[in-house]
Amino acid sequence: MFTRYLLRRFFRLFFLVLFSTLFVYVLLDFVGNIRVWLLREPKDVAEYYLNFIPNIVYLVMPVNLLLAVVGVVGSMARHLEITSMKTAGRSVLRITAPLLVVSVLIAGAMFWANEEILPDANHRRLELAQPPTDQSSKIRREKQKNRAVVVGENVTYYFRNYSSRTQRARDAVILRFDSLGVRDRYDAASMDWNDSVWLLSNGFHRTFLPNGESVGVPFKSLSLEGVVSEKPNDFIDDRYSPDEMNRAMLLKKINSQRRSGEDTRALETQYHFKLAGSVVAILITIIGIALAHGAIRGGLPRVFGLGLLLTFSYYILLRIGLVLGETGVLPPLGGAWFGNAIVGSVALFLLIRSVRL
């Protein structure tokens, strides 16, 4: 009975706060981009916000959880409901256990959404937000330059420039791998798709032998028929930011950059953060419970203020950790979990202190 009573009150407040936050967020974003939307079709605007809503929910979830937990637990504390239950022999953890279970489920849902929903939604949203004639769209297209692409388990392609329209790559480097390492390397001034075959022009082919030696042969034109199986569409990878990729996509790009000798710290940090970012739901719930438990003495305004301070402090620590991981000051794993480690310690301290009261 009590569990149903607690969860009913929690979800009622939680969804009220969530829908209110969504409405305000979408309204502010719409007004801020009104010049762009006046030039677009209404269906594009509607599709943009349908794809934006999952990301908004993910971003505001910690604050929504804090407000809902503090509101429910704080109200129960002020009306002496928690005091009466503690008198009956129930601990704070036992009383609030349903909320902790819900936070774990929400954390799992956030991780699942970050893997299955957000990458495609963010990708489509960014496409809709950047019309072809817009300068920022040009910036996204320019990012197709100077990038490495891996489309096969044993092949790495590196292009200075690749055009999906002309199906031509300039300054191409192709590495073929086997179980022993690099087997072949092709350096070419250009690579063109011609009659269902990739043709290399003005380059050099090196074959690496098991004994460590290599044999090199220059060429004017060289067909890659039977050598590689990738087609032009396999190189169209217009997802640039980690928000547009799940962990599998990020890992693929990390391996690609490693083979090309590029720095992968930023991508590795984002890869680990895909998991670390979901755990905040549990930490914020613990903080909310610990703070609201004492609302009978300090009052709900004080608890809300302190909770929001800790929540926004988490976002600051989160950004600091990501920067430290991306720049190499911390290992990528440490940078991704930096904010969680500090906020988790604070949450544990507050919970232990709350249980003792």
pLDDT digit of tens for each residue in the chain (357 aa)?
Answer: 778 888 888 999 999 989 998 999 999 989 988 888 888 888 888 989 999 999 999 988 988 888 888 888 887 877 777 777 777 777 777 888 889 999 999 999 999 999 989 988 888 888 777 655 444 444 444 444 445 555 556 788 888 777 666 788 888 888 888 877 888 999 999 999 888 899 999 999 999 988 878 899 999 999 988 888 888 766 655 566 788 888 888 887 888 777 667 788 988 999 999 999 899 889 888 888 887 776 555 566 677 777 778 778 888 888 899 999 988 899 999 999 998 899 888 888 877 877 665
Length reported for the chain: 357
Q: Would you state the pLDDT for residue 237? A: 55
Residue-wise pLDDT tens digits, 176-205:
888 778 889 999 999 998 888 999 999 999
- Spatial distance between the Cα atoms of 357 and 354, rounded to a whole number of angstroms: 5
- pLDDT tens for 305-357 read 777 787 788 888 888 999 999 888 999 999 999 988 998 888 888 778 776 65
Task: For the chain, state the CA radius of gyration.
Answer: 27
Rounded-to-integer distance, Cα 72 and Cα 2, Å: 13
> pTM above the 0.75 mark?
no
Q: What does 222-283 look like in DSSP terms, one character per residue? A: EE-TTT----GGGG-----SGGG--HHHHHHHHHHHHHTT---HHHHHHHHHHHHHHHHHHH
Alpha helices in the chain (DSSP H): 2-32, 34-37, 42-78, 81-87, 92-116, 118-129, 135-142, 247-259, 265-292, 295-298, 300-327, 332-356
